[in-house]
Structure 1
Amino acid sequence: MKLTGGQIIAKALKNYGIPYVAGIPGHGCWTLLDAFLEEGCEIPFIQVMHEQSAVHLADGYYRASGKPMAAVTSVGPGAANTIIGLGTAYADSTSVILFTGAPATHMRGHGVMQELDRFHSNDFPRVTEGVTKRHWEANRVEELPFIMHRAFNAMLTGRRGPVHVEVPMDVQAEAIEVQIHDLERRMPIGTMRADVAAISAAAQLLRKAARPVIVAGGGAITAEAWNELRQLAEAVGAAVVTTWNGKGAFPEDHRLFAGSVGQTGTTSGNALAANADVVLSVGCRFTDWSASSYRKGTSFSFPPAKLIHIDIDPQEIGKNYPTEVGIVADAKLALQDLLQAFTTADIEAMAATRADYYQEIERQKQEWERIISARRESNESPMTSQRPLAELRKVLPRDGIVVVGSGNTQGAVKQSFPVYEPRTYLTSGSFSSMGWAVPASLGAKLAQPERKVVCIVGDGDFMQSLPEIAVAVMHNIPVVFLVQNNMGYMSIRGGQRKIMGRHIGSEFNLKNGEPYTPHFAEVARHFGLKAWRAETPEQVADALKEALETEGPTLVEAMTSRDAAGPFVPGWWDFPVPAYIQDERQDEYQEGRELEQHL
């Protein structure tokens, strides 16, 4: 079979199960894109409005389904615009495959249009090194079949991550006789099992634990370990807390769910995790946000607590906290093996000692509900950030998906919006990229067309990818966009005020100091969406109900308060106080630094 380089890529993607390709056409990739129109190579193309969004859209597709999607962009700025998307996927370990164009091989180094050549001929691949799991440059069309199965192997095994393939224009156009490799014969069967001795040691620690806590991170969802997680928690009587990306791994209406951990965790989650005697971490990296910058007694206490750390990546074991038992394995298989290590007698013995602990879990959760309920139930106008979320939870089905932007919205949803099923809460937890949520929600809806998908985003975040709502209209992707409008970057303003006592650049104001905002509902209507602006809880409740019942894409603009915008901050974040501030703020910071345990 004689195929061009573009056809080789298109046919391989189709054979390997890629359902969509997102991107923007340009002279550097139009030969590749044309191949998707050829018989046997047809894959639907989703045209976005910015190349960064192409990668974010594919990222959202993966997070909602566990299956990869592809993105294609042109050379030069078209390629460079993807870096934030790649960085977001890399930080959160999600599988995306990106193809970018490049100057023809015989034109390299000539400084042709959109070539970066001053330091090294065609230097873009070097830019991607820090934001991809692996990247390839196809210098000859004969290399493409090999590159294709290696790229899929890299992004779908071990710790997941994005991959990048650069394809020069002449390589896209040249043809050779070729056989597309069978991907199944190029991939391992099964995943990594845990060491038997490590499982035995971990089980023994859990048998002796009086206050066990399980921390579910994003790795628990990637491994699809949610059933095993619930079964193990019930077997050992452990409280379960979640991180940014672990939210959804454990049902939040389960009696053992204790909340979330970290700087914007819940008081219940932080208190129970900080006072645990044994912590089992499942796919958690213990970032500063999840661990309150490692301040002892705030989110965790290692020591005296003993840590069992399960992760697919050996580099994460012991990186931020010392481990009692470090287990390198697939989370699902490791939890299965742990479950098998307990006899019926073990489970009964552990249950017999847990009555007081179960009461404490419930007491801590009730105290958190008392704290958060004031904002959830507030009738103020402008609204608190939590009130629209409470109204959304009333009307969104249990399996509905929320795709959450950065900033205060991210923290508020983490704390006050319960989710019950895996892959129903998606957020850019590690990179916390603004502009991610809107295109990612489109990808999530393409991945789960039968489910309701709501993009929850702040106004500052929304304006970084607002044009992508046109994609929702053009392709009839019925996402509900809930825009929390408080006229600025209020999470940044809050941090500035706390540390410096003043702020700069974090409010959207006119020259005279009056608050400024576009009328997002009106803007959305001009894009072709049905849209509402809600200024009261009653209005937002009605608008959300109608939006979810509407067939096409919709937008609800909820006017929220600048001064009640942020989530509660039960944790700690190591943010250095400038040396010119010498008061209690500096003292508090230095005291916090002294309690950090990661060094």
Structure 2
Amino acid sequence: MKGSGASALVTVLEREGVEVVYGIPGVRNIALYEAIRRSTLRPVLVTNERAAGFMADAYARSTGKVGVCAVIPGPGVTNLLSGVGEALLDSSPMVVLMTAVRKDRHRPFQAQEIPQVDLVKPLVKRVFRIRQIATLPEVLGSAFRTARTGEPGPVAVDIPENILLDSGSFPDYEPLPPLPVGFDEKKFAEIVALLCKARQVGIYVGYGAVGARGFIETLAELLDAPIATTISGRGIIPEDHPRSVGFGFGPAGNPIAEEIFRLCDTVLAIGCKFGEVATGAYGFRKPRCLIHVDINGEVLGRNRMADRTLRADAAVFLPRLVDVLASRQIEGKSEGRICREIARLKEEATAHIARLPERQEAVSPIHLLHRLRSLLPRDAIVTTDSGSHQFWVAGTFPVYESRSLLTPTDFQATGFGIPAAVAAKIAFPERPVVAITGDAGLLAASMEVLTAIREGAPIKILLFHNRRLTMVRAAEEERQGQGSEMTERLMPDLEALSAALSLRHFRIERDAQITEVLASALDASDSVLIEAHIPEAEIDRYLQERLGVASERLPFSLRLRYLAREAWRVVTG
């Protein structure tokens, strides 16, 4: 093929199956955006490059494809970094097209020139540099392969402006499949033996097992096992499945999961890291036997010493395991006892929610999310920001479909929720998309509503509104005995903000209004902001447990200082 570097780049994107490119054009990458405009690709122009990173991440999570964003050098790259960090820690395949300043002029102090390769290197799996136009397809193809191989993640491609402008001839391009991961047959056999001898197995799956629902269900039947997930793995198994116990299996997780997994002497963990957020600050007990399987060998046994580990792709491991166990005699099956106990606990939990009194002065997060779930179809996509609302969703809002909950788990970037919702709506225009956010998330990303309008992608924003950084306030109170004005937010007139952004505005001030207001807002054909007045001090079980565990692990001298400070406040009034 012949043409400019920009046209060759776009051809590679098309053949890699890319549909959307997120970013903002600038003088340095005009040629690239012109080539995109003339192609089958859809350019989504954001209001800030940080949102481009979040959107590319959310696109990858919701579709299973590689997300792509294109930015100018200098400020375009620095603005993007939060989105890249989110993709790195939450295992989202992303290709960042970083235009660089010209490399053919050899003049210093060019506009926007910074050491951007060094800047982005710690946040990506690899940085690819294109310095000769003839190598562009090969290098870009290697970038896509790296993003997909092993644990998915972001890569960056550094492309000087002159490469985009130059013309040349290029070899025909065919996409490269991900590189295979080895499989240790001896370790696999040891895992099979342990599972066959276990008294009661529990299955714990993370985002690394996404797309393996059928094999996980079959495995659970063979082992008569309950299934728990990480926060980012929610929806891999529908949470109304008879064997699903929700997320986590420690004190910070779903209470049903904690109780059921107490019965398990062996836990098979697949596609997870046992990270701080998933485990509530590492607050869970190790079972008698822990088996850890993940495609990234560097995470195996890191936070909990596992009895057996195996580096393997869940897409390879699970079919192999199901095939072997189907022909084995497995001891200790409970003859339906586990499913009956799960059903009993779920019935009790539902009855408990129904018995909760309605608030007259504010909105109960539990009632709000419970009724939201009842009004949404099973395949609705929900996004969140970082904050207390995120963990109310984790504990209260059931998820029924894979890739339908997009939440900033390990990087915890505020401002993720609204851009992620826009990207999900662009990818799936026929499905309802709700962004659940807090005051900080709205302040950080509300301008991306303009992107939703521009793209014809209406979203619903549900705001947990209490004018506070609730999670930070709770940490202050846990450690210092009281909160401070540093966690209080000055908020704009939300009705006026909605009008300025062409949002329909709804307000929920007490529980009795929830169903009627939510139904009207969800039925609207355009984008809406639903302002729900949440009590200032309301935090969920997860945060209570996580903050408690985190405080216990502070240095003794620091804990003693906090206790002395609190005692002084009590004495002095």
TM-score, normalised via structure 1 length: 0.88
Check 1:404–1:93 CA distance in 2 against 1; reply closer, same or farther (3 A cut): same
Q: Is the 8 A contact 2:222 2:326 kept in 1?
A: no
Distance 1:508 1:238 in 2: 45
Q: Percent identity at matched positions?
A: 27
Equivalent residue letter for 1:114 = Q
**Superposed displacement of residue 548, structure 1:** 2.3
Q: Is the 8 A contact 1:408 1:490 kept in 2?
A: yes
Partner in structure 1 of residue 570 of structure 2: none
Partner in structure 2 of residue 51 of structure 1: 49
Partner in structure 1 of residue 266 of structure 2: 278
Confirm whether residue 147 of structure 1 aligns to residue 139 of structure 2: yes
RMSD over aligned Cα, in angstroms?
2.4
Q: Is the 8 A contact 2:48 2:79 kept in 1?
A: yes
Confirm whether residue 34 of structure 1 aligns to residue 22 of structure 2: no
**Superposed displacement of residue 134, structure 1:** 1.3
Taking the TM superposition and a 5 Å limit, the aligned residue runs for 1:155-554 are 155-183=147-175, 186-188=176-178, 191-192=180-181, 194-221=183-210, 224-261=211-248, 262=250, 264-273=252-261, 276-295=264-283, 299-302=284-287, 305-343=288-326, 346=329, 350-351=332-333, 353-362=334-343, 364-365=345-346, 378-508=358-488, 516-554=490-528
Equivalent residue letter for 2:127 = H
Equivalent residue letter for 1:574 = A
Q: Is the 8 A contact 2:253 2:279 kept in 1?
A: no
Confirm whether residue 64 of structure 1 aligns to residue 62 of structure 2: yes
Distance 1:354 1:504 in 2: 54
Q: Is the 8 A contact 2:94 2:153 kept in 1?
A: yes
Greater shift in the superposed pair: 336-345 or 553-562: 336-345
Check 1:187–1:359 CA distance in 2 against 1; reply closer, same or farther (3 A cut): closer
Equivalent residue letter for 2:246 = G
Structure 1 regions of 5+ residues with no counterpart? Answer: 117-122, 510-515, 587-599
Q: Is the 8 A contact 2:363 2:508 kept in 1?
A: no
Q: The residue matched to 2:325 in structure 1 has which SS?
A: coil
Out of 545, 560, 563, the residue aligned to residue 582 of structure 1 is 560
Deviations 1:478-521 (A, max 9, x none): 21111111111101100110111123355335xxxxxx432334
Deviations 1:383-423 (A, max 9, x none): 12222211211110011111111111111000000111111
Check 1:574–1:104 CA distance in 2 against 1; reply closer, same or farther (3 A cut): same
**Superposed displacement of residue 193, structure 1:** 6.7
Q: The residue matched to 1:31 in structure 2 has which SS?
A: helix
Q: Is the 8 A contact 2:252 2:279 kept in 1?
A: no
Distance 2:341 2:374 in 1: 28
**Superposed displacement of residue 156, structure 1:** 1.5
Check 1:374–1:461 CA distance in 2 against 1; reply closer, same or farther (3 A cut): farther
Q: Kindly tell me the number of residue pairs found equivalent between the two proteins.
A: 559
Deviations 1:279-311 (A, max 9, x none): 10010101123234444xxx2325xx2111111
TM-score, normalised via structure 2 length: 0.91
Q: Is the 8 A contact 1:521 1:533 kept in 2?
A: no
Check 1:288–1:498 CA distance in 2 against 1; reply closer, same or farther (3 A cut): same
Equivalent residue letter for 1:170 = N
Equivalent residue letter for 1:283 = G
Check 1:421–1:77 CA distance in 2 against 1; reply closer, same or farther (3 A cut): same
Partner in structure 1 of residue 568 of structure 2: none
Equivalent residue letter for 1:556 = I
**Superposed displacement of residue 83, structure 1:** 0.7
Out of 105, 121, 127, the residue aligned to residue 129 of structure 1 is 121
Equivalent residue letter for 1:244 = I
Greater shift in the superposed pair: 442-451 or 561-570: 561-570
Check 1:109–1:408 CA distance in 2 against 1; reply closer, same or farther (3 A cut): farther
Q: The residue matched to 2:37 in structure 1 has which SS?
A: coil
Q: Is the 8 A contact 1:540 1:556 kept in 2?
A: no
Distance 1:188 1:456 in 2: 34
Q: Is the 8 A contact 1:291 1:300 kept in 2?
A: no
Q: Is the 8 A contact 1:476 1:553 kept in 2?
A: no
Q: Is the 8 A contact 1:386 1:412 kept in 2?
A: yes
Structure 2 regions of 5+ residues with no counterpart? Answer: 565-573
Partner in structure 2 of residue 512 of structure 1: none
Partner in structure 1 of residue 10 of structure 2: 10
Deviations 1:47-86 (A, max 9, x none): 1000010111111111111012311111111111111100
Greater shift in the superposed pair: 523-532 or 392-401: 523-532
Distance 1:92 1:374 in 2: 37
Q: Is the 8 A contact 1:206 1:212 kept in 2?
A: yes
Q: Is the 8 A contact 1:280 1:309 kept in 2?
A: yes
Greater shift in the superposed pair: 128-137 or 557-566: 557-566
Q: Is the 8 A contact 1:275 1:300 kept in 2?
A: no
Distance 1:584 1:528 in 2: 47
